[in-house]
């Protein structure tokens, strides 16, 4: 089991954000231009900080986020939430012309079985899998998520030769529609943390999958309440669900 990370220690997405900010010529302004103090642990205004409820669930699975350039800077980026919950989350900025040696080393690490998560209809069928092979190899699944807008993600997929040899995990329609039913959703545009949650489910890690979903709900609630300058409801449905999962 991985050692617990201190709440004060920045995770991979947080470090990537700091590095990206340092490279910015001019300060990045969140949409809407809201100024003022942000909690470095959760990026929300201090009155809506949710660091105290951040769950951490031990998982076999790891997550590898390939993030489009601006993605780590967006206050609404949900890759951050994945890194909060899943201890073994790695994050890399994506660039067309170069690849970080640390990413190549991670993909070559024999403890992991990497899967690129991408819709199967855009990929040669022989690369596509719909399930996560557990156990026989003894390898832990490593889900590579392209954290980007859809046009960016397509470009990243096409122009990253180091991904070409890896199996492509395509979330199947049945799993997606079960998820939509459970969440009363109508569209099939998933944010990155929802995709991660579906991957955990496929890997047989239901509790972690549900925890990540509940944490996304808590985050969304705090984010929206802050935006509307209303206090968060710590006993609302999102918080209750997250607390119930903590006890489960
Ligand atoms: Zn916070």
More confident residue, 188 or 107: 107
Q: What is the pLDDT of residues 58-75, one digit of tens each?
A: 999 999 999 998 899 888
- pLDDT value, residue 3: 46
| 30 alpha carbon – ligand 1 mean position (Å) | 17
| 35 alpha carbon – ligand 1 mean position (Å) | 16
Given pLDDT bands bounded at 50, 70 and 90, which one contains residue 32? very low
- Report residue 198: phi and psi, to 5°: -65, -35
| 45 alpha carbon – ligand 1 mean position (Å) | 8
pTM of the model: 0.89
Given pLDDT bands bounded at 50, 70 and 90, which one contains residue 178? confident
Residues forming beta bridges with residue 143, ordered by sequence position: 63, 115
Contact 36, 63 (CB under 8 A): no
| 4 alpha carbon – ligand 1 mean position (Å) | 18
Quickly tell me which residue has 């096409």 as its tokens.
158
pLDDT of residue 176 exceeding 90, the answer is no
pLDDT of residue 227 exceeding 80, the answer is yes
- Report residue 63: phi and psi, to 5°: -125, 135
| 98 alpha carbon – ligand 1 mean position (Å) | 33
| 246 alpha carbon – ligand 1 mean position (Å) | 19
pLDDT of residue 194 exceeding 90, the answer is yes
Contact 118, 154 (CB under 8 A): no
| 162 alpha carbon – ligand 1 mean position (Å) | 36
Q: What is the mean pLDDT of the chain?
A: 88
More confident residue, 177 or 125: 125
Q: Give, rounded to a whole angstrom, the gap between the first and last alpha carbons of the chain.
A: 18
């Amino acid at each position: 089991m991985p050692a617990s990370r201190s709440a004060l220690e920045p995770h991979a997405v947080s470090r990537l954000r700091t590095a990206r900010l340092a490279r910015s010529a001019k300060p990045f302004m969140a949409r809407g231009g809201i100024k003022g103090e942000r909690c470095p642990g959760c990026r929300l205004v201090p009155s809506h900080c949710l660091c105290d409820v951040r769950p951490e669930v031990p998982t076999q699975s790891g997550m590898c986020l390939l993030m489009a350039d601006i993605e780590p800077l967006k206050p609404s980026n949900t890759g951050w939430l994945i890194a909060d919950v899943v201890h073994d989350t790695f994050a890399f900025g994506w660039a067309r012309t170069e690849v970080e040696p640390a990413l190549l080393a991670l993909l070559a690490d024999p403890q992991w079985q990497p899967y690129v998560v991408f819709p199967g209809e855009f990929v040669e069928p022989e690369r596509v899998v719909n399930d996560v092979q557990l156990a026989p190899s003894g390898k832990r699944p490593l889900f590579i998520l392209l954290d980007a807008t859809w046009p960016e993600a397509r470009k990243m997929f096409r122009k990253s030769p180091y991904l070409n040899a890896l199996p492509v995990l395509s979330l199947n329609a049945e799993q997606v529609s079960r998820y939509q039913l459970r969440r009363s959703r109508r569209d099939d545009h998933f944010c990155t943390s929802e995709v991660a949650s579906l991957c955990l489910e496929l890997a047989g890690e239901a509790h972690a999958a549900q925890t990540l979903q509940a944490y996304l709900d808590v985050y969304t609630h705090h984010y929206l309440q802050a935006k509307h300058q209303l206090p968060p409801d710590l006993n609302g449905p999102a918080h209750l669900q997250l607390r119930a999962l903590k006890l489960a």
